Chains A and B, each alone.
Chain A
Amino acid sequence: VRKLLYILGAVLLLAGAAFGILAWRGSSSLARYTNTNIHMGAVSTAAADALCPQTGHPRLVCLANGLQHGMSPELRAQLRRPYSAADARRWSNFPPVGYPDRVGPTLGDFTPAQLGFVKAMPATAAGLAKNEGYDELEQILNADDYLKANTTDNAGFSSGNFHIAFLGTPAERGTWELYFGGHHTAVANTYRDGRLIGATPSFRGVEPFTPFTMNGRTNAPMAQERDAFAAMLTGLTPAQQREAKLDMIFTDVVVGPQRDDNFPTTREGVRVGSLDLHRQQLVLAAIDRYVMDISQPDAAAILRRYQAELGDTYVAFSGAPGMNAENDYVRIDGPSVWIEFSMQPGRSIPGIHPHSVWRDRRSDYGGNG
């Protein structure tokens, strides 16, 4: 009996220890998150601007070097990793609890001085158009601060929990990717020898979707994407809408994170080449809402390519064309461009919220995916 008690005690002791290890394992992936509100709008880039007055890729390289100057070896090791397609694929729309495997340190890991350089990098890569590019990103970060302040969900919402990483070395020569991502966000700009060779995958989503006030401003970062799609779809004739209508339901995007191989081989919907010029312009305007998330002159070059392929591009949708109800879904599918917009129910607060992904069949991950 005594021996049995020993064994039973040992089992319980070990079970307790194992549970402790398990709990630690479960929380350790989230322990890296500071859950802080960075308030990116208030972060000054004056020092970064003074050090790096260039534009485009030379400015990105300068900012990357300026950011790393005086940085601890530990933080630098997290920030700068060898380029690999495997690491490039480590992005998600989920908050940290749903996807804890993103690469790079978080904004909460940087000093205020370093944050100025951090902020300047996506601003340089994504451009400064109102409600697009960097401005859109900042508002999505504000949405996470809003969720942190207004919900009890412990999903890791916070602007301080967004990641930045360099895959490869930012330099005039060689391949590297600027990754910036977090909940509802993925920026993956791939450069080779100083040229942008891939602006996708590019994911944006936001909750709340309706305008909200956070960090001293009104935020509605994806309203114009929805409006552009609604204008495009409601502008179709009833016959064109029937042709564009998909018979399946879409509760989310199809070629989302970790679904890089999910492109259909057959395009569905109405062929843009069959539409009149006005309707083609509405399609191009919707595409432009995504291309504008890249700074000039790269955005103009990408849009020209998509415009040249517009005749063989297809528009398809599911649900209603207004794109303002749960499970409304729209897709633009061309020889290169792939854009999906999916309206979903609110996850943390009542209402609806969109997920959207811009991909390029030819240059996702700079063609390295």
Chain B
Amino acid sequence: MAATADVQRRALLRAGLYVIPLLASARVLAHPMPDTEIVVGRDATTVALDIRLPFHDLLLASPPGLPRDARTLLAGNQPSLRSYFAAHTRLLGPADRPVPVTIGTIRLHQDHGADVGAYAELEVRAVARVDAHVRIRLAYDAILHRIANHRALVRDHRGRPIGTIRYSLASRRASPLALPNGPSS
């Protein structure tokens, strides 16, 4: 019986070690609308950027003539949207050498926040092949290139802040942000 109880205790401990950090991270990952949020994940050979941005601000920052309805826009404009994000999501390696970035499928997320009301976000995944030990910087200015007060809050996959990308009224550009080396832990 004692052995069984010991097994149960260990199982509980193991479960706690896995479950509690996972759940604890859920709260800190709450999206601080109306800014953009970028979650960075790195493994040995890849860096992935999960980008969530407010659809309303994207429309303001985009050229006129795009459909105002989010579903219509997404259904008929995936290639041009991917081109837009490719132009505004760049990774810079050593000596600012560009690292090719692939923009994946763009999805729509609609929700309601008590403090911001109903909102729609686009979810964009950008992936690049780059070894974990290589120093890279993220040069991102989607929306920011037109909306001066917009910010991109960059975090690791556990919700820990890496930094904020913002448009500088002084330099009239958004400075690149250094991303941490090594696989995400």
What is the interface of chain A, defined by CB distance below 8 A to chain B? 3, 6-7, 10-11, 14-15, 18-19, 21-22, 25-26, 94-95, 97-98, 153-156, 246, 248-254, 256, 262, 264-266, 268, 327, 342, 346-348
Measured between alpha carbons, how far is A253 from B115 in the docked complex, in Å? Answer: 17
Measured between alpha carbons, how far is A260 from B30 in the docked complex, in Å? Answer: 23
Which residue of B11, B15, B114, B167 has the most chain A CB atoms within 10 A of its CB atom?
A: B114
* Residue numbers in A under 8 Å from B167 (CB-CB): 248
| A-B pairs with beta carbons under 8 Å apart, 5 shown | A11-B15, A249-B60, A251-B150, A252-B34, A265-B170
Q: A25-B27, A348-B117 are in contact. Are A6 and B146 (CB under 8 A)?
A: no
What distance in Å separates the Cβ of B54 from its nearest Cβ neighbour in chain A? 9
Measured between alpha carbons, how far is A266 from B166 in the docked complex, in Å? Answer: 16
Checking B116, B146, B170 against A248 with a beta-carbon cut-off of 8 angstroms, the contacting residue is: B146
What distance in Å separates the Cβ of A241 from its nearest Cβ neighbour in chain B? 19
Measured between alpha carbons, how far is A11 from B13 in the docked complex, in Å? Answer: 9
Measured between alpha carbons, how far is A117 from B143 in the docked complex, in Å? Answer: 47
Proximity string of chain B (44-79) to chain A, C-beta cutoff 8 Å, 1 when within and 0 when not: 000000000000010011000000000000000000
* Residue numbers in B under 8 Å from A248 (CB-CB): 146-148, 167
A98 in contact with B149 (CB, 8 Å): no
* Residue numbers in B under 8 Å from A254 (CB-CB): 148-149, 169
Checking A15, A25, A268 against B169 with a beta-carbon cut-off of 8 angstroms, the contacting residue is: A268
What distance in Å separates the Cβ of B170 from its nearest Cβ neighbour in chain A? 4
Measured between alpha carbons, how far is A95 from B114 in the docked complex, in Å? Answer: 9
B149 in contact with A252 (CB, 8 Å): yes
Checking A3, A18, A26 against B7 with a beta-carbon cut-off of 8 angstroms, the contacting residue is: A3
* Residue numbers in A under 8 Å from B12 (CB-CB): 10, 14
B24 in contact with A10 (CB, 8 Å): no
Measured between alpha carbons, how far is A22 from B20 in the docked complex, in Å? Answer: 9
- A-B Cβ contacts below 8 A, count: 93
* Residue numbers in A under 8 Å from B87 (CB-CB): none
Q: A18-B20, A97-B115 are in contact. Are A250 and B169 (CB under 8 A)?
A: no
* Residue numbers in A under 8 Å from B19 (CB-CB): 11, 14-15, 18
What is the interface of chain B, defined by CB distance below 8 A to chain A? 7-8, 11-12, 15-16, 19-20, 23-24, 26-27, 34, 57, 60-61, 113-117, 146-150, 166-170
B149 in contact with A250 (CB, 8 Å): yes
Checking B15, B20, B57, B115 against A7 with a beta-carbon cut-off of 8 angstroms, the contacting residue is: B15
B147 in contact with A94 (CB, 8 Å): no
In order of increasing CB-CB distance, the 10 nearest A-B pairs are A264-B169, A98-B115, A155-B114, A265-B170, A248-B148, A7-B11, A11-B15, A18-B23, A97-B114, A347-B117
Checking B15, B115, B166 against A10 with a beta-carbon cut-off of 8 angstroms, the contacting residue is: B15
Chain A contact residues: over half helix, strand or loop, or mixed? loop
A266 in contact with B11 (CB, 8 Å): no
Q: A7-B11, A7-B15, A264-B169 are in contact. Are A251 and B116 (CB under 8 A)?
A: no
Measured between alpha carbons, how far is A253 from B148 in the docked complex, in Å? Answer: 9
Which residue of B16, B23, B115 has the most chain A CB atoms within 10 A of its CB atom?
A: B115
* Residue numbers in A under 8 Å from B113 (CB-CB): 97-98
Measured between alpha carbons, how far is A11 from B18 in the docked complex, in Å? Answer: 9
* Residue numbers in B under 8 Å from A22 (CB-CB): 23-24, 26-27
Measured between alpha carbons, how far is A94 from B11 in the docked complex, in Å? Answer: 43
What would 19 more interface pairs be, CB under 8 Å, given A97-B115, A153-B117, A251-B34?
A3-B11, A7-B11, A7-B15, A10-B11, A15-B19, A22-B24, A22-B26, A95-B115, A98-B114, A153-B114, A154-B114, A248-B148, A249-B148, A250-B149, A251-B149, A254-B169, A256-B149, A262-B166, A262-B169
Nearest residue (CB) in A for B146 is A249
Q: A10-B8, A98-B116, A347-B117 are in contact. Are A19 and B15 (CB under 8 A)?
A: no
A6 in contact with B148 (CB, 8 Å): no
Nearest residue (CB) in A for B168 is A264
Checking B16, B27, B57, B117 against A14 with a beta-carbon cut-off of 8 angstroms, the contacting residue is: B16
Measured between alpha carbons, how far is A261 from B150 in the docked complex, in Å? Answer: 15
Measured between alpha carbons, how far is A153 from B116 in the docked complex, in Å? Answer: 9
* Residue numbers in A under 8 Å from B60 (CB-CB): 249, 251, 327
* Residue numbers in B under 8 Å from A265 (CB-CB): 169-170
* Residue numbers in B under 8 Å from A95 (CB-CB): 114-115
Which residue of B150, B169, B170 has the most chain A CB atoms within 10 A of its CB atom?
A: B169
* Residue numbers in B under 8 Å from A10 (CB-CB): 8, 11-12, 15
Nearest residue (CB) in B for A94 is B115
What distance in Å separates the Cβ of A101 from its nearest Cβ neighbour in chain B? 12
* Residue numbers in B under 8 Å from A327 (CB-CB): 60
* Residue numbers in B under 8 Å from A253 (CB-CB): 149
* Residue numbers in B under 8 Å from A256 (CB-CB): 149
Measured between alpha carbons, how far is A264 from B20 in the docked complex, in Å? Answer: 43
Nearest residue (CB) in A for B144 is A248
What distance in Å separates the Cβ of A345 from its nearest Cβ neighbour in chain B? 8
Measured between alpha carbons, how far is A327 from B166 in the docked complex, in Å? Answer: 19
Measured between alpha carbons, how far is A15 from B148 in the docked complex, in Å? Answer: 42
Nearest residue (CB) in A for B170 is A265
Measured between alpha carbons, how far is A246 from B148 in the docked complex, in Å? Answer: 10
